[in-house]
Structure 1
């Protein structure tokens, strides 16, 4: 890697820093929206193209896969070149790919455009995290990450509602195209603001920049082999069991990647992922926690939407609106969490996970114990509880995870955390959907009423959500204990 000089704190006035910050956060929210709002569009896309279930699955999962594969290399390139330049490249490509999705004449064309869109998202997201870490020092950074977490929480929860609303406006046949068209004006506006407001983050270096091509290749094979079997898991009897052999390729690829990166670093060169980052306990524990947490959260949204649409025949727009409460309360608690993390540290995340677990339990209780016409209202109440807890997880954990990371590696470290989230989402969603649909396939024709069948399917799917939250809770408790044994106080985290 280059020895390019870097300004540790970008010399901007507070007003200019926050303007640049809001451009970054808005683009991050736009990126995350496309992870969730397309889910509710699948029935509309199926009607428009007569797409197969595999094609529909890939239209969603292909975006996630391309996103995940691009994150780490893009984070590395942004760190050694220019975060602003890569941000603009990613945003431009994302906007153009969205237009291609909106104009897609066939499902195959749409799938390819979604892959390009995922690559673009993977280019721009690491630059957002690197810029935030570089723009703000100390306690101000915690506040910035708190607001960042609030916006991401809103985008995650509002995605299904926005998707359902756009489909209702555009009609069943072509309403899904509006989901992509809306990215055009938003993308163009964000692009103009990015060119105008984002600061320069790199100076030219007189020394050459070295890239780790073998590391990039091994990394790509490893991540592809890990995510692919889960991304193609639907829970249907037609799922090909041979796909699980790819996990053996993952193990071999991961072993080769670690060996190569270790050797590459020992030769005095800078690897794609400096494995020494994982010796930093705050980074290691925080990255693991958020990966497991994101195996639970998107799965809970997806299962709830499926239950409301398929089990209760609720329209997509109304099914999506159930999660609005999560968006509102998580936004508030994320913002508050950004200020409280300096006082309570990891303990704040622990109690946040308790709130999320309680909310998940209330969602299942609402589905099973309440009359169908009242179920959406009770679920919306449960989302308020889960959102309050969720806001105390994401933004404080982001602050704690990156606290000990050098600013010059902020983009890379942030992209590793984002990769963990994408992998967690792929694995968690696959497990939850498998439990949901396998229960339906297994119990269909058993004499149970349809509503009882969906009660069982939702409960089994949400069981995986609860288990993932419990694992995240265990990691948070272990990290809290480790910090206390080292005598590390919450104030140290905000220093």
Structure 2
């Protein structure tokens, strides 16, 4: 018996091809990150070709992240049951085929459905990589392995928006935005072949049973919370939207109760309840939910501001995000030279504080520059936001997963990445909804505040003095209703008799731009509050990645 215990306690030898295997795992992380980023830049072009409302752009991201968030809980557990290498292969192959389906989509509903399928296969694929890293590398090497995510994902965040903008503008073979999905095909093929050759098979000694009711409760709860947030504004917030939100909270409460009872009965829960008694893990979920909501949601709003408010092309919008991406790389590199190990939680706090400073700088820049805004003026604030993101994310996964036992790895990896994606989905829904809710009122306010200027414009346009008040009200109502319209191809009734003089068109464009500017500042303020909440929640995390390090 003692010999058995000695063998079980003996350190596991690191896997021979672990660094090559890490490269394969990073390839699918890149594929996932590219797909999370590219639709933000390409979204307006996709909507222009396929039709539909602005909520389509939100759903392109939300369908992917929501499906992934739901599937990740199951994906991690499936790896425990059937083997992580096998599930990695299934996920990579399915993700690649779903990317092809996205590229061939002919309607908004087809594309949203294909994006959801992408997310589901991504959910099968991604947690296996995190689980295998925990098992392939020795504890001493795990920090370096997780640290490799930083520069690679940072470079992907640099390349993603620029690549998407370039591909849309270049219109290769007449494919336009479809090329952003076609580029996944060689990456997916590399991941599949690399997994066959270099990934080891890991499987739990006692394969757990899948908790199907837990899967259903988690999926229903997440959908009930997200759907009203995305569609509520377009539907003018009927009462049933708020009812769905309340029911969603109740369903998640039932999910937690059910999982606890399942564990007490000796059955395998979908998410191991004991994980939530670990300070690093439960605190990490709270931080990840809020942090990624701010990060992903703000990226979508920034795209709306650049392409719809300022009229930037997809390529110019992508290039405008370059300083933030470069800042992210710099933050990850700085963390990788030893800051993560030396500072631990302090680095996460420093990074979040830097992001908050960058967000304030962004708000001030947009407000002070006004119509004279340019990519160069935005650069300093964006560099700060990116650097803070790199510093904060570098120690995050290592701190949260370091205290997880091997038998909990699949459940922990699935839950952690699920909350990350769920936070992104909520950020897309919530911040996108706030942004479009603010725009019409801000546009109308700018028209009202510019009455003297408008009278001068009307006089120059030849509008009689006794008709100017009526024309001014008509223009105000038209601009408010047009910016409130979910489908920009639809002409509101108030705009059917709107004046069309060039002078008035220039005035109207200026006030719409100012309205988008103020809505961007207001939404960035919400993002700042989310980051402040993430900063406070970070104190729930342990000071170091490994609990024993806190004693030193």
TM-score, structure 2 normalization: 0.81
Distance 2:158 2:24 in 1: 20
Paired residues of 1:48 and 1:173 also in contact (CA < 8 A): no
Q: Deviations over 1:346-370 (max 9, x none)?
A: 1111111111111111111221223
Q: Which residue in the other structure is 1:413 paired with? A: 412
**Which protein, 1 or 2, shows the higher relative CO under an 8 Å CA cutoff with sep ≥ 6?**
1
Paired residues of 1:403 and 1:493 also in contact (CA < 8 A): no
Q: Which residue in the other structure is 2:31 paired with? A: 30
Structure of larger gyration radius: 2
Q: Deviations over 1:408-452 (max 9, x none)?
A: 322321221111112212222323222321221113333153332
Q: Which residue in the other structure is 1:296 paired with? A: 294
Structure 1 residues 172 and 308: CA distance shift in structure 2, 3 A: farther
Residue 492 of structure 1: how far off its partner (Å) = 1.1
Q: Deviations over 1:161-192 (max 9, x none)?
A: 22111101117974111011111111112211
Distance 1:51 1:438 in 2: 18
Distance 1:328 1:210 in 2: 44
Q: Deviations over 1:56-78 (max 9, x none)?
A: 54333211221111001110111
Q: Which residue in the other structure is 2:324 paired with? A: 326
Q: After alignment, is 137-146 or 395-404 more displaced?
A: 137-146
Distance 2:174 2:528 in 1: 36
Would you say 1:12 and 2:15 are equivalent positions?
Answer: yes
Q: Which residue in the other structure is 1:114 paired with? A: 115
3-state DSSP class of the match of 2:106? coil
Q: Which residue in the other structure is 1:492 paired with? A: 549
Query: Any unmatched runs of 5+ in structure 2?
Result: 1-7, 450-510
Residue 463 of structure 1: how far off its partner (Å) = 0.7
Distance 1:199 1:178 in 2: 33
Would you say 1:139 and 2:137 are equivalent positions?
Answer: no
Q: Which residue in the other structure is 1:341 paired with? A: 340
Q: After alignment, is 73-82 or 306-315 more displaced?
A: 306-315
Q: Which residue in the other structure is 2:83 paired with? A: 82
Distance 1:150 1:117 in 2: 25
3-state DSSP class of the match of 1:445? helix
Residue 321 of structure 1: how far off its partner (Å) = 1.6
Q: After alignment, is 240-249 or 277-286 more displaced?
A: 240-249
Structure 1 residues 156 and 411: CA distance shift in structure 2, 3 A: farther
Distance 1:469 1:245 in 2: 28
Q: After alignment, is 154-163 or 132-141 more displaced?
A: 154-163
Instruction: Please report the RMSD computed on the Cα atoms of aligned residues, expressed in angstroms.
Output: 2.7
Distance 1:245 1:153 in 2: 40
Paired residues of 2:154 and 2:325 also in contact (CA < 8 A): yes
Q: Deviations over 1:434-488 (max 9, x none)?
A: 23212211133331533322221111110111001000111123546xx59xxx9
Would you say 1:363 and 2:366 are equivalent positions?
Answer: no
Paired residues of 1:147 and 1:335 also in contact (CA < 8 A): no
Paired residues of 1:300 and 1:465 also in contact (CA < 8 A): yes
Matches for 1:88-107 after TM superposition, within 5 Å: 88-107=89-108
Which of 530, 533, 550 pairs up with 1:468? 530
Distance 2:392 2:123 in 1: 23
Q: Which residue in the other structure is 2:539 paired with? A: 477
Distance 1:404 1:72 in 2: 19
Q: After alignment, is 268-277 or 408-417 more displaced?
A: 408-417
Q: After alignment, is 445-454 or 158-167 more displaced?
A: 445-454
Query: Any unmatched runs of 5+ in structure 1?
Result: none
Q: Give the number of aligned pairs.
A: 481
Would you say 1:125 and 2:123 are equivalent positions?
Answer: no
Would you say 1:268 and 2:266 are equivalent positions?
Answer: yes
Paired residues of 1:230 and 1:426 also in contact (CA < 8 A): no
Structure 1 residues 241 and 419: CA distance shift in structure 2, 3 A: farther
Paired residues of 2:399 and 2:546 also in contact (CA < 8 A): no
Matches for 1:182-193 after TM superposition, within 5 Å: 182-193=183-194
Paired residues of 1:8 and 1:134 also in contact (CA < 8 A): no
Residue 494 of structure 1: how far off its partner (Å) = 12
Residue 374 of structure 1: how far off its partner (Å) = 5.0
Distance 1:124 1:493 in 2: 34
Q: Which residue in the other structure is 2:153 paired with? A: 152
